[in-house]
Amino acid sequence: VQLQASGGGLVQAGGSLRLSCVAARKDYNVNSMAWYRQAPGKQREMIATITYNGRTTYADSVKGRFTISRDGARNTLYLQMNNLEPEDTAVYYCQLRGGMLSTLRPFTSWGQGTQVTVSS
């Protein structure tokens, strides 16, 4: 299942951005979706997840500032990012874990990444 992430950009510290991740197909069940980020020289880290029934979890570094949500009708995952800090500068990736409706085969898909740069 192909994912297309968008919404990144350059913002000043304290600003906001909303990332979107659209799935190209609808013939699957969602187990969970997530946002990851990877800063230069660092490992990719998971920052927010949402399960099929809407349960959310956040990394401590973004808790209270970022909100993950999902619109099932639009096959779209969102990440609302408020009060951004320079430390949030990274490439942000969306992830989908699900199963194909026709075969029940599980899969994990990744979006291509969208750059977020926060200036001080």
pLDDT digits (tens, 9 = 90+) for 62-110: 999 999 999 988 899 999 999 999 999 999 999 999 998 888 899 999 9
- Looking at residue 65, what DSSP letter applies? T
Nearest to 77 by CA among 118, 12, 33: 33
The count of C-alpha atoms lying within 13 angstroms of the C-alpha of 61, restricted to the half-sphere facing its C-beta, is 12
Overall average pLDDT of the 51-72 stretch: 96
Q: Is 81 helix (H, G, I), strand (E, B) or coil?
A: strand
Which residues neighbour 113 within 8 Å (Cβ) at sequence distance 6 or greater? 5, 38, 91, 92, 93
CA–CA distance, 67 with 58 (Å, rounded to integer): 8
